[in-house]
């Protein structure tokens, strides 16, 4: 069965990102450094603004109204992400950034699941943040790191 290809409406998607309305060197901004910082769509900006304006509090710690609301919003986000990626809610872990997430995978999963005779394979395109933790795990476990 041949599936119909969908076209992506780039102009429509760009409308969701207010920063992409900027001009740089007299041209529309194009941003490729997403490994370092991803630009935010209006939905994210609005949600963060709502959090700071309405229920800014630590999650899973307080028993006051704001903490309960912040915790509920956090857990609802976890549920949405789990559903979107077809995972269990307990499998969704939020981190501050990609580097922290990669470190978590390498140092927790990697240390527990790789061992003698295993080889850690990375590509030559890996970002520094995905090389260093695996180098350290490989050294610690006396494994070969290869590309």
Q: Tell me which of 20-24, 60-64, 124-128 is least confident.
A: 124-128
- Reported confidence tier of residue 2, pLDDT bands at 50, 70, 90: low
Residue 16 has which token pair? Answer: 């969701």
Residue 28 has which token pair? Answer: 């529309």
Alpha helices for the chain (secondary structure H): 10-15, 42-54, 65-84, 98-104, 111-113, 128-141
Across 81-100, average pLDDT: 94
Across 30-37, average pLDDT: 83
Cα–Cα distance measured from residue 71 to residue 122, given in angstroms and rounded to the nearest whole number: 37
- If you ran DSSP here, which 8-state letter would residue 41 be given? -
Domain boundaries in the chain? 10-91, 98-146
Residues whose CB is less than 8 angstroms from the CB of residue 26 and which lie 6 or more positions away in sequence, other chains included: none
């Amino acid at each position: 069965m041949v599936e119909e290809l969908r076209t992506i409406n780039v102009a429509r998607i760009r409308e969701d990102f207010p920063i992409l309305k900027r001009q740089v060197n007299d041209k529309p901004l194009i941003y490729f450094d997403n490994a370092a910082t991803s630009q935010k769509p209006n939905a994210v900006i609005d949600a963060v603004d709502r959090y700071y304006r309405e229920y800014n509090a630590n999650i899973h710690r307080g028993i006051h109204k704001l903490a309960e609301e912040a915790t509920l919003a956090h857990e609802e986000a976890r549920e949405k992400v789990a559903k979107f990626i077809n995972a269990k809610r307990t499998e969704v872990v939020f981190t501050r950034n990609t580097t922290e997430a990669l470190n978590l995978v390498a140092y927790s999963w990697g240390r527990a699941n790789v061992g003698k005779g295993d080889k850690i394979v990375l590509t030559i395109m890996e970002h520094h943040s995905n090389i260093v933790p695996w180098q350290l795990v490989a050294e610690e476990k006396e494994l070969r790191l290869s590309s």
